[in-house]
Amino acid sequence: MAAIDGLPPLRDVIARHGLDARKALGQNFLLDLNLTQKIARTAGPLEGVTVFEVGPGPGGLTRAILSLGAKKVIAVERDARCLPALAEIADHYPGRLEVIEGDALKTDFEAMAPEGPVKIIANLPYNVGTQLLINWLLPKTWPPFWESLTLMFQKEVGLRIVAREDDDHYGRLGVLCGWRTQAHMAFDVPPQAFTPPPKVTSSVVHLIPRAEPLPCDVGKLERVTLAAFGQRRKMLRQSLKPLGGEALLAKAGIDPARRAETLSVAEFVALANNL
C-alpha cells in the first residue's frame, strides 16, 4: 500500500535498499509519516522556505517536510547507502530535494544558505547533535541565516537546552541557548517510535533566534560558564577564583555566596563582560 504522499511505505524502502541501521551513525529511523509531519509542523509554515536537514536517512522526515510545502530541502547525509532511496524522493518532488553526501560537522551551512527564509529541521544523530546545535548558535553573523531550529535530541539533552536558572538541567548549554535564542520543548517521542528503538526517550526542541542577544564575547562567556558549572555545587567566590573570584563578582554586582545554577543568562553575560 502506498503511503500518504504516494511514495512507498518507509518499511519497504528500508528493506528494498538494505538500510539496516548502524549504531555508529546514530541511526534510529522514524517510519511513521504522521509523526514526521508532526515534527515538521513544529517548524511553522514551510511555504517558500528552504529547509536544511541533517541525516535524512531513508527520508521519513524529508518526505514530511516536502509534503508540507517547503520550497526546497537541502539534506546532508553521511551514509552513502541512503542515497538511492533519497533519489526516489527527489524524483517524486522534481527540483525540490538536493542531497549532499558528507559530514554535517564539516558542512558550512551558513555559506550554503540561499536568499530567502531558511529553517533547520532534523532528527539528529545523537553523537553529533549537540555540536551541530552549538555550530548553528555561533554563525559568523547574527541574526543567523536560519529562522528557526526544530531538532530532535535525547530528552536529557533537550532538557539541558531549554533549562534556565534554578533548574537541575541548567548548565553551559542552557546559558548559550538562552543567550542567543528562545528555546522550548515541543513534545516527547517514545523509544518505540524509532526503528531500532533507542534506550531513552527523545524530545523535539524548537529554537527561535533572539534578534538582539545581549552583547557579549562568546569566548569569555564560555570561560565563565566552564569555571562556574565545573564546580556547580561550590559558591561562585570559589569556582570563579581562577578568573578573578570576588573582585570579578563585585564588578558584575553578583553575591559571591551564590552558586552557578542560580545565575540568569544576563548575569553570566555581566560576568563575561567584566572579565
CA distance 232 to 121: 33
- Residue 133 annotated as lining a ligand binding site: no
Q: Which residues bind ligand SAM (CB under 6 A)?
A: 25-30, 54-57, 60-61, 76-79, 82, 103-105, 123, 125, 128
Q: In terms of CB distance, is 78 or 180 closer to ligand SAM?
A: 78
68-92 as b/e: b if 16+ CB within 10 A = bebbbbbbbbbbebbeebbebbbeb
Q: How far from 187 is each of 119, 146, 176, 202, 256, CA to CA, in Å?
A: 19, 21, 22, 9, 38
Could you tell me the smallest distance in angstroms from the CB atom of residue 33 to ligand SAM? 10
Q: Please, which residue, 14 or 271, has the CB nearer to ligand SAM?
A: 14
Question: Does residue 245 have a known ligand-binding role?
Answer: no
Q: Residue 37 Cβ, how far from ligand SAM at the closest point, in Å?
A: 12
Between 105 and 275, whose beta carbon lies closer to ligand SAM? 105
Q: Determine the Cα–Cα distance for residues 143 and 159; give it in Å rounded to an integer.
A: 24
Helix 33-41 to helix 60-67 angle (10° resolution) is 60
Write down the least CB distance from residue 79 to ligand SAM, Å: 4
Smaller CB separation from ligand SAM, 123 or 274: 123
CB of 242 to ligand SAM, least distance (A): 34
Contact 209, 181 (CB under 8 A): yes
Check whether 77 is labelled as a binding-site residue: yes
* 28 known member of a binding site: yes
